[in-house]
Amino acid sequence: MGGGEGAVEKVVNMFAEVFRKKTVWLSGHTGFKGSWLAQWLLELGADVHGFALEPATEPALFDQLELGKRLHHQIADVRDAGAVKKSIRAAQPDFVFHLAAQPLVRLSYEQPVETFATNVMGTIHVMEAMRELKKKCAAVLITTDKCYENREWLYGYREDDPLGGSDPYSASKAAAEIAIASWRRSFFKNHPVKIASARAGNVIGGGDWAKDRIVPDCVRALRKHQAIAVRNPGSTRPWQHVLEPLSGYLWLAARLSRPSTFNPQLASAFNFGPAHEDNRAVGELVEEVLKHWPGRWENKSDASAVHEARLLQLATDKASALLGWSPAWNFPAAVEFTIQWYRRAEKKSPAAIRKLTSAQIRDYCAAARRLVIPWAIS
């Protein structure tokens, strides 16, 4: 259970000092990003309280890492205001990371009401629960790069650009952002809880098994020696390894929590995205995957398919200026580590998969250290 796994010495950087022996309430810990974040926090020595639904996929990274045995694991629904309140009250967290969401664009067309209930009301329930806290707490609430009104611009969206969204998923996350800004101004001005929101691009990394996401689709097809069916080969996305936004979330929370580094501008919205040249088309991503796992792909574009934005980029000047945050792995490295994970994890024991995942976190920290990114320096 939480409280550290004696691995702090393995990932020595600023985060070890900030999160060791701290209580972290993490929603969505059974999901892809949440499982990576839980693994990283456990290595940093945090006491992690997870709140989420049962893992939605088989396999699931949560099970592959045996996280259920290693943190305070609660299966509950963010749509249940009482359950969220009880959980946060009991944990008395120093940090909150809210990742629980219905995150799939295509599913949001089938389940728009559930998507709004989870993504908007779920976020409001977390904020309502945090209003009761009488202690200092730094909270990072996760939305998405898709929260912007997409104008198919060639340049990146900035945090002050208009919010919007055609599909229900994007619109629900834009609505969550509006709620976060409202709650911050209305209830968290003179409050020990500091709230920021984080908008990241499309993440890739080992252990994503979601339906309708390009990398898991590639892995499923390649394992069966089938052609990869690619729906939108020309659509451009800000691809980044999952550890990139997670380092941003951790660093934002760390900076919010420390009086010496606190600046009121930090309690706001932040983009975390890749370098401009790493915004790539889906087809390029698939070609890069095939360099590490040979196979083939087919163009399965469907003109009658539901609308998904074609062009989306994020400007990360704010994260760079206020946090000194920048990506540590470029596009080829992100794809290489991702595919390496899937290939090395195949048919391996949970212990071996944990080792592999930890090793990738260490590699990522080492790359960030080489680039002298502030959080990575001890």
Ligand X SMILES: NC(=O)c1ccc[n+]([C@@H]2O[C@H](COP(=O)([O-])OP(=O)(O)OC[C@H]3O[C@@H](n4cnc5c(N)ncnc54)[C@H](O)[C@@H]3O)[C@@H](O)[C@H]2O)c1
Q: Give 2 or 122: the residue with its C-beta nearer to ligand X.
A: 122
Instruction: Report the distance separating Cα 353 and Cα 127, nearest Å.
Output: 34
Site string for ligand X, 301-340 (x = CB under 6 A): ----------------------------------------
Contact call for residue 357 and ligand X (CB under 6 A): no
Single-letter code of the amino acid located at 341: W
Task: Please count the helices (runs of H) and the strands (runs of E) in the chain.
Answer: 14, 13
Site string for ligand X, 239-278 (x = CB under 6 A): ----------------------------------------
Respond yes or no on whether the N-terminal peptide bond of residue 59 is cis (omega within 30° of 0).
yes
Contacting ligand X within 111-140 (CB under 6 A): 118, 122
Contact call for residue 39 and ligand X (CB under 6 A): no
Cβ of residue 101: shortest distance to ligand X, in angstroms? 3
Tokens of 156: 């990146």
Choosing from 210, 290, 322, 333, the residue that interacts with ligand X (CB under 6 A) is 210
Contact call for residue 83 and ligand X (CB under 6 A): no
Cβ of residue 310: shortest distance to ligand X, in angstroms? 17
* Binding span for ligand X by CB under 6 A among 39-47, 85-93, 198-206, 215-223: 198-206
354: left (phi over 0), alpha (psi -120 to 50) or beta: alpha
Instruction: Report the distance separating Cα 102 and Cα 242, nearest Å.
Output: 17
Cβ of residue 225: shortest distance to ligand X, in angstroms? 26
Is residue 187 within 8 A of residue 127, CB to CB? The reply is: yes
Contact call for residue 63 and ligand X (CB under 6 A): no
Tokens of 102: 């219905």
Choosing from 71, 99, 121, 218, the residue that interacts with ligand X (CB under 6 A) is 99
Cβ of residue 45: shortest distance to ligand X, in angstroms? 23
Cβ of residue 251: shortest distance to ligand X, in angstroms? 17
Tokens of 276: 């401009």
Cβ of residue 282: shortest distance to ligand X, in angstroms? 13
Q: How many CB atoms lie within 10 A of CB 132?
A: 10
Contact call for residue 216 and ligand X (CB under 6 A): no
- Can you point out the beta strands (E) in the chain? 23-27, 47-52, 72-75, 95-98, 137-142, 193-200, 203-204, 228-230, 236-238, 240-241, 269-272, 279-281, 297-299
Instruction: Report the residue closest to ligand X, judged by CB.
Output: 31
Instruction: Report the distance separating Cα 79 and Cα 323, nearest Å.
Output: 32
Instruction: Report the distance separating Cα 216 and Cα 212, nearest Å.
Output: 8
Q: Give 14 or 167: the residue with its C-beta nearer to ligand X.
A: 167
Contact call for residue 13 and ligand X (CB under 6 A): no
- 142 has which bridge partners? 198
230: left (phi over 0), alpha (psi -120 to 50) or beta: beta
Choosing from 137, 180, 200, 286, the residue that interacts with ligand X (CB under 6 A) is 200
Tokens of 66: 């045996």
Contact call for residue 214 and ligand X (CB under 6 A): no
Cβ of residue 6: shortest distance to ligand X, in angstroms? 26
Binding site for ligand X (CB under 6 A): 27-28, 30-34, 52-53, 77-79, 99-103, 118, 122, 142, 144, 200, 202-203, 210
